[in-house]
Structure 1
Amino acid sequence: MPNWSTSLKYVTVAAAAFLAACGGSNSSNSAETLRRGISANPDTLDPHKVSSQWENIVIGDMFIGLFTDGKDATPVLGMAESYEIDESATKWTFTLKDANWSDGVPVTAYDFEYAFRRILNPETASQYASLLFLIKNAEGYYNQDLPAEELGVTAVDDKTLVIDLEYPAPYLPGLLKHYTAFPVPKHKVEELGDDWIKPENIVVNGPYKLTEWRTRDFIRSVVNTQFDGAEDLCFKEVVYFPYEDLDAIERYIETGRLDMNNAFEGQRTQELREKFPGWVRAVPALITTYYAFNTELPKFEDVRVRNALAMALDRDFMVNEVLTAGYVPAYSLVPPGIANYDGGAEVYWADMSQEERQAEAKRLLEEAGYGPDNPFEFTYIYRSTDDNPKVAPAVQANWNSIAPWVKAEIQMQDTAVQYARLRQADFEIGDAAWVADYNDPQNFLFLLESRTGVMNYGNYASAEYDELVEASNLETDMEARKAILKEAEQLMLDEMPIIPMWYQVAKNLVDPNLTGYADNPEDVHRSRYICRKD
């Protein structure tokens, strides 16, 4: 999913007052309220219409799929009590637990059947629909070539759900804990349409239920009393604050008004360790920052141009001098340490010195027809938060130093606006980051498939790449699958539709008086596991 950060450089008086009321150091209810900073305002809380990590923080507290996140984000059984897999590994039969929606109506297999049909219905306009194309006939149904009855998700009865796949998918449990696979209350959605998600209407099956949402101020959820285990939850409510003003966040921590925040200024890691002992949590994560080319623009159709701009960027300087400690320069899209993959794909110029890369970049651009009489001009847009504004001038300087006739402009964007522009292909070069939705290289490589849709920001299209990714999906021998995935990634890197920049660490500030928080490479931390020390 896209990585967080939106630019909210102000904190309204009402929001600040509410924050204090929700658990300042002298507040009577602070022990019962978990106060989380989430960095950005959700576009929606409909699990079928979101696409971002900050939205996942809230939605994952309200809904649970067939699998769910364990304390360390590994998949564990959620709404499923048990499951069976047939010999072909393409038919999964789930038996559901006894569970109710927050309004007391039972959660049934028909809710799941309805949910999968809904997210794959093009009228829903889900950004993430293509993630589910591994389900039998999902792509045909999405393209309106097949009826809903042909989709490979079938409710046999209230407690039995069958999912048929196009090919074996060893990562399916991880996918089924993702919000694309969350159920929605059929009875409410059919009654209220898009209004079902409003605080006064929403019905959930997870531990917390939305009760209030003031855009750009806060989101409040309270315990869902129908949730199995509700009585064991340590916090009666969770309040989420979509603020990215890190100076303000520090003030809230100092005054005891915030328990967790999902970002901090990477360059100040050691300073923050000293200022807030025990708060800094930074661990390697399955997150890659990359820059997307809009490959449909004539100036970026030439692979020589794309490689020239990619190789000119001094990742070592950026990582060592500008970015968060622990970041690693990236020369491939798939991050190291991911499951079911040995890696090995790499840009062909990775072993060149920076001086050699700059000279080669100039040569390639000249070969592509650019020079003093035909300058190469373009605009790079980037997210307004995290370390992105600090590194942008270095990016611009690297490009402009290729030659006097290379003229890169940089433009900061509010992150919500940034991702909207990327999805609409309203950019030339744009900064983005991807956080693994499930622990498998396919979750990164699917981004560049031509069928992926708006998540393929630059509209890269390669029939050969598509065929390789499809072949990897059909391959049951894991070693052979790894080899095919490597071939696909190498092909894509040679064509350079995106510029891999660095692999990130997950950065969180967490009150050391909280328990149940577990560092993990997916950077998922569900509120239901968190408690406060007595």
Structure 2
Amino acid sequence: MGPYLRIFSLALLLSSLLACSPHFHPVTRGNLHDLVLALPDDPATLDWNKATDGNSFEVITNLMQGLTRFDRDQRVVPGDADHWSSDSTATVFLFHIRPSARWSDGTPVLASHYRDSFLRLLAPSTASPYAYYLFDIQNAQCYASGQCPDSAVGVKVLGPRTLQVTLSHPMRSFPSLLTNAITDPVRLDLIRADPDHWSDPGRLVGNGPFSLLSWHHDAYLELVRRLPDSSVPPRISRIVFLVIPEPVTQLTLFEQHRLDIEGIPSFYIGKYKNSPLLQRIPQLSTIYYSMNINRAPFDNVHVRRAFAMAVDRVRLEKIFLSALPSLSSFIPRGLPGYDPDAAYPYDPEGARRELAAGGFPQGRGFPKVTLVFPEGTQSRIMASYMQQNFKDVLGVSISLRSMEWKAYLAGLDSHTPAFYQSGWIADYPDAMTFLSLMRSGSGNNRTGWSDPAFDRLLDRAMQANDSEKAVLYDEAQKILLRRGVVAIPLSQGVTNLLVPPDIKGYWHNAMGMDNLSDVRKIPRG
């Protein structure tokens, strides 16, 4: 039996098992008040100050709201802040919270709740991988490193609904950073009263359009609309996220009308390429492999360079039927600083020379290396191809290991593998969201690599105009990809969605954000 037939048979088996499971939610697409979607895995956490993964944010962004948000055209628009302003230098910002902003328990949303969130995100005790995200704020990095008190951080409450943020440098785009759910407000009173369970169903108090009704781990989550909806026709009143790891199973359930909207894995796009339901949205994202310089053999730059030169991206794109565009830049297409020549090109002879320079001519004596990646058919297809690619070009054998999503994330922090799959989608439409991953001190830089010249370029870019930024970004990523060689960019994501015509008000943007709060379902004719 061929591999795709085998996958499809497995999908049908899983579908029948899910239908019989006591934890499988019984809703169908026929209910006009419910929106039923799939997640590939459980959220790793619903603590927005600590979340880093897409599954968590997909749920959190419907439970919470920040000071600002993006609309479908990626413009920054009001969230909890109905307006904001800055001084002439773009270093001091005032955010004014609308009087109607309320938590789900009826408590007003206050400026102090945002200050508490910013400081909690930065606090060393929180250990958030995203702490660096607010380092543009005056003395934020100093506080995050434990070298100054929280009172020194440039976040002040000027009134119940007025928040002042002072930056360490001019940054007119700062409001766009606050669209990220990690900066949403927190209720320290509730967190301190129940530190282990405050984000559980029935206990999580949010300020977004929905509340968390239930969470059956590894099965489904239910969200219900917070306030009565008086709009005509009414918007959906409940969202059900079914946890379904296998994408082909998701497609089967969509075709059985048990999912409302469905993403198509890139290796399966051929079947639906002419479907009127298909929407294709290029992502501002990068899929790449990371190498840990603190673990052999990737402590040797010649080995890292050999692996980087051994990647045939053209062939990889063909395997995915051009549905997953190849990428030779750490900064994806669509952002200033994108450079198709930033990474080492495919060069088999050069790769073999570098491997020999690293002490492993023709792969002889090469140690055991395991490529670690999260569970999923797309990741496994990519890893299997890369395994063969390195064998053919370098003469080395690498093992493959897939891990369940939460275990994979935990492993990156507790014992970072030598060689592992990574991916990032933009938090805001600027290359800094990618490059800052790899700067010294970033909680998301697990490679062990640090370069002061790289950091200085990012510092300069923060204060540069748009045309200067593009040059500085490109210089920085070439240091990363040519001198550091700790990341191998492979592909840029594309979101392929099946959206039926009875779904209205839904959109998905290039940063992976779904608009669900305005969705309406109309009766099918």
TM-score if structure 1 supplies the norm length? 0.89
Q: How does 1:515-534 map to 2 (within 5 A)?
A: 515-534=504-523
User: Which of the numbers 487, 500, 503 marks the counterpart of 2:475?
Assistant: 487
Tell me which residue corresponds to 1:346.
341
Identity %: 25
Report the CA distance shift for 1:71/1:375 in structure 2 as closer, same or farther (over 3 A): closer
3-state SS of paired residue (2:185): coil
The C-alpha deviation readout for 1:350-400, integer Å capped at 9, x for no partner, is 3xxx5xx11111111111211365335422122221512112222111111
Counterpart CA distance in 1 for 2:369 and 2:482 is 22
Tell me which residue corresponds to 1:293.
291
Tell me which residue corresponds to 1:62.
63
Counterpart CA distance in 1 for 2:489 and 2:150 is 38
User: Which of the numbers 366, 381, 390 marks the counterpart of 1:399?
Assistant: 390
Counterpart CA distance in 1 for 2:511 and 2:397 is 37
Counterpart CA distance in 2 for 1:101 and 1:230 is 21
Tell me which residue corresponds to 1:103.
105
Counterpart CA distance in 2 for 1:411 and 1:330 is 24
Tell me which residue corresponds to 1:3.
none
* Aligned-pair CA distance for 1:149: 1.2
Counterpart CA distance in 2 for 1:136 and 1:267 is 46
Greater CA drift, 76-85 or 371-380: 371-380
* Aligned-pair CA distance for 1:208: 0.1
Whether the aligned pair in 2 keeps the contact of 1:345 and 1:490 (CA below 8 Å) is no
Structure 1 letter corresponding to 2:56: E
* Aligned-pair CA distance for 1:403: 4.2
Report the CA distance shift for 1:476/1:347 in structure 2 as closer, same or farther (over 3 A): closer
Counterpart CA distance in 2 for 1:260 and 1:89 is 41
Counterpart CA distance in 2 for 1:413 and 1:196 is 28
Counterpart CA distance in 1 for 2:20 and 2:428 is 34
Tell me which residue corresponds to 1:46.
47
- Please tell me whether residue 418 in structure 1 is matched to residue 423 in structure 2: no
Counterpart CA distance in 2 for 1:481 and 1:124 is 32
* Aligned-pair CA distance for 1:235: 1.0
* Aligned-pair CA distance for 1:168: 2.3
Counterpart CA distance in 2 for 1:190 and 1:440 is 36
Counterpart CA distance in 2 for 1:427 and 1:44 is 22
Counterpart CA distance in 2 for 1:202 and 1:15 is 30
The C-alpha deviation readout for 1:261-287, integer Å capped at 9, x for no partner, is 3x322122131356xx43332221111
Counterpart CA distance in 2 for 1:93 and 1:200 is 34
Report the CA distance shift for 1:349/1:141 in structure 2 as closer, same or farther (over 3 A): closer
Structure 2 letter corresponding to 1:319: E
Q: How does 1:14-413 map to 2 (within 5 A)?
A: 16=21, 19=24, 21-23=26-28, 25=30, 30-98=31-99, 99-225=101-227, 234-261=235-262, 263-273=263-273, 277-320=275-318, 322-323=319-320, 325-338=322-335, 341-344=336-339, 346-347=341-342, 349-350=344-345, 354=346, 357-371=347-361, 374-404=365-395, 406-413=396-403
3-state SS of paired residue (1:468): helix
Whether the aligned pair in 2 keeps the contact of 1:34 and 1:237 (CA below 8 Å) is yes
Whether the aligned pair in 2 keeps the contact of 1:39 and 1:242 (CA below 8 Å) is yes
Greater CA drift, 509-518 or 237-246: 509-518
* Aligned-pair CA distance for 1:48: 0.9
* Aligned-pair CA distance for 1:73: 4.7
The C-alpha deviation readout for 1:284-310, integer Å capped at 9, x for no partner, is 111110000011114212222111111
* Aligned-pair CA distance for 1:451: 0.9
User: Which of the numbers 482, 489, 494 marks the counterpart of 1:505?
Assistant: 494
Counterpart CA distance in 2 for 1:218 and 1:255 is 18
Whether the aligned pair in 2 keeps the contact of 1:259 and 1:510 (CA below 8 Å) is yes
Q: How does 1:463-482 map to 2 (within 5 A)?
A: 463-473=452-462, 475-482=463-470
3-state SS of paired residue (1:402): helix
* Aligned-pair CA distance for 1:426: 2.9
Tell me which residue corresponds to 2:4.
none
Greater CA drift, 77-86 or 520-529: 520-529
Report the CA distance shift for 1:315/1:477 in structure 2 as closer, same or farther (over 3 A): same
Whether the aligned pair in 2 keeps the contact of 1:345 and 1:486 (CA below 8 Å) is no
Q: Which runs of 5+ in 2 are unaligned?
A: 1-10
* Aligned-pair CA distance for 1:410: 2.0
Structure 1 letter corresponding to 2:447: G
Structure 1 letter corresponding to 2:311: L
Whether the aligned pair in 2 keeps the contact of 1:152 and 1:163 (CA below 8 Å) is yes
3-state SS of paired residue (1:111): helix
- Please tell me whether residue 461 in structure 1 is matched to residue 461 in structure 2: no
Counterpart CA distance in 1 for 2:213 and 2:410 is 27
Counterpart CA distance in 2 for 1:348 and 1:58 is 35
* Aligned-pair CA distance for 1:191: 2.9
| RMSD between superposed Cα atoms in Å | 2.4
3-state SS of paired residue (1:387): helix
Report the CA distance shift for 1:375/1:81 in structure 2 as closer, same or farther (over 3 A): closer
Structure 2 letter corresponding to 1:503: Q
3-state SS of paired residue (1:360): helix
Whether the aligned pair in 2 keeps the contact of 1:102 and 1:204 (CA below 8 Å) is yes
Structure 1 letter corresponding to 2:314: D
User: Which of the numbers 421, 424, 438 marks the counterpart of 1:434?
Assistant: 424
Ranked by relative contact order (alpha carbons within 8 Å, sequence separation 6 or more), the top structure is: 1
Counterpart CA distance in 1 for 2:167 and 2:331 is 24
TM-score if structure 2 supplies the norm length? 0.91
Whether the aligned pair in 1 keeps the contact of 2:355 and 2:394 (CA below 8 Å) is no
Whether the aligned pair in 2 keeps the contact of 1:208 and 1:223 (CA below 8 Å) is yes
Whether the aligned pair in 2 keeps the contact of 1:284 and 1:326 (CA below 8 Å) is no
Report the CA distance shift for 1:190/1:251 in structure 2 as closer, same or farther (over 3 A): same
Report the CA distance shift for 1:482/1:240 in structure 2 as closer, same or farther (over 3 A): same
* Aligned-pair CA distance for 1:126: 1.5
Whether the aligned pair in 1 keeps the contact of 2:344 and 2:481 (CA below 8 Å) is no
Counterpart CA distance in 2 for 1:434 and 1:394 is 21
The C-alpha deviation readout for 1:228-273, integer Å capped at 9, x for no partner, is 9899860111111121222322232122211123x32212213135
3-state SS of paired residue (1:163): strand
Report the CA distance shift for 1:500/1:247 in structure 2 as closer, same or farther (over 3 A): closer
* Aligned-pair CA distance for 1:143: 1.1
Counterpart CA distance in 1 for 2:371 and 2:108 is 50
3-state SS of paired residue (1:301): coil
Counterpart CA distance in 2 for 1:412 and 1:166 is 42
Counterpart CA distance in 2 for 1:231 and 1:215 is 35
Greater CA drift, 161-170 or 90-99: 161-170
Whether the aligned pair in 2 keeps the contact of 1:345 and 1:489 (CA below 8 Å) is no
3-state SS of paired residue (1:329): coil
3-state SS of paired residue (2:514): coil
